């Protein structure tokens, strides 16, 4: 956020709007990616904690 604020300094009007829109889209994409990774890890962790989890034998 600090980098975006610094990058916005000196910009006004349409230039500022375009800059902030672009940076917002980058922030949303990053947040979405990291959130999906976290949800995936939490899902795997919850499955591994389940009493129904088992290790499959090599012969199966």
**Residue 52 pLDDT:** 73
Residue 10 structure tokens: 């000196």
Q: Which residues contact 4 (CB under 8 A, 6 or more apart)?
A: 20, 23, 27
Mean pLDDT of the region 4-20: 97
pLDDT in tens, 19-39: 999 999 999 999 999 999 999
pTM confidence score: 0.67
Residue-level pLDDT at 53: 65
Q: What is the pLDDT averaged over residues 37-57?
A: 84
């Amino acid at each position: 956020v600090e980098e975006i604020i610094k990058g916005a300094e000196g910009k006004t009007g349409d230039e500022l709007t375009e800059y902030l829109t672009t940076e917002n889209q980058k922030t949303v994409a990053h947040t979405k990616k990291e959130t999906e990774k976290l949800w995936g890890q939490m899902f795997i962790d919850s499955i591994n904690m389940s009493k129904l989890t088992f290790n499959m034998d090599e012969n199966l």
